[in-house]
Amino acid sequence: MTVPERQPPSWRTRLLSFWQSLAPQLGATEPSLVQLEDSRVEFLRKGRSVQFDQRRRLIVHEGRVLGSFDKVLSVDVERSTDEDRPDQWTVLLRFSEGANLFLGSTTEDVDASIAAAKVATVVGAKVRSV
């Protein structure tokens, strides 16, 4: 009896797995990932829509093209402090055109760092702590 060769997971499966692992780290509610076409997926979280077009390598938010994967300068982890509250860590996509895309925030610096690293892997950008 021959064992069928295992195929590597598709990019859709990898992206879904990525979003599912990202949600707890950013304190997010369960995200949903909707397949629009073969090369396009839509990420929905708290009514916000971000589309990743793998074929054209574009990131689209609320129907507006924010830029290509190549235009992402960095995935930033920003720390904000307030004497009355615990430190807050925000994860943003920073584009070369000056636009930013808020991905989420948490009070755990390690969680924000891990989430930023995963996003950076998907779009091929570096992580910065600012």
Question: Both ends of the chain: CA-CA distance in Å?
Answer: 57
Measured distance CA(70)–CA(13) in Å, rounded:
22
44, 80 Cβ separation under 8 angstroms: no
Task: Look at the chain and report how many structural domains it folds into.
Answer: 1
Q: What value, to the nearest 5°, has the Cα angle with vertex 24 and ends 23 and 29? A: 60
Q: Identify the weakest region by mean pLDDT among 21-25, 49-53, 71-75.
A: 21-25
More confident residue, 45 or 49: 49
More confident residue, 115 or 33: 115
Mean pLDDT of 84-94: 88
In a domain, 5, yes or no: no
| CA neighbor of 116 nearest in space, from 61, 87, 71, 78 | 78
In a domain, 104, yes or no: yes
In a domain, 86, yes or no: yes
Burial class of residue 6, CB neighbours in 10 A (0-12, 13-18, 19+): exposed
Q: How confident is the model at residue 62 (pLDDT cuts 50, 70, 90)?
A: confident
The domain in which residue 70 lies consists of 11-129
In a domain, 6, yes or no: no
- DSSP for 8-62 reads PPPHHHHHHHHHHHHHHHTTPPPPEEEEEETTEEEEEETTEEEEEETTTTEEEET
For residue 31, the model assigns a pLDDT of: 44
For residue 30, the model assigns a pLDDT of: 45
In a domain, 1, yes or no: no
Residue range 90-129, pLDDT digits in tens: 888 898 888 888 877 788 888 888 778 777 777 788 999 9
